[in-house]
Amino acid sequence: MYAVIKTGGKQYRVSAGEKIKVEQIAADVGQEIVIDQVLAVGNGAELKVGTPLVSGASVKAMVVAHGKHDKVRIFKMRRRKHYQKRQGHRQQFTELQIASIQG
């Protein structure tokens, strides 16, 4: 069984037992959260697609860890204009362990 969920402005295809990294969620490590924005639920050949969400469907997940992704380096330059700009960014994430899918 799998589900397509929406969190942090992105969509993820998840199944029970998977670990995924999503945009940071304000929850403690070890806390169980319920994601109710489920766009589709599939089980073998059967597929339920929501308009836009599947009613009554939810995904339970446990927060495993918080962290930061690798650094992304931004370098801007205009040739012959003596302009160079360096910038870096590290996006924060929350790692989730998918426990179960209802729907």
List C-alpha distances in Å: 54 to 41, 57, 60, 99: 8, 6, 15, 19
Q: What is the domain extent for residue 29?
A: 2-102
The pTM score is 0.85
pLDDT in tens, 47-74: 999 999 999 999 999 999 999 999 999 9
For residue 36, which phi and psi values (nearest 5 degrees)?
-105, 0
CB 63 within 8 A of CB 29: yes
For residue 70, which phi and psi values (nearest 5 degrees)?
-65, 155
pLDDT in tens, 20-51: 999 999 999 999 999 999 999 999 899 999 99
**Residue recorded with tokens 């997940």:** 61
List C-alpha distances in Å: 89 to 50, 71, 76: 35, 6, 14
State the total domains in the chain: 1
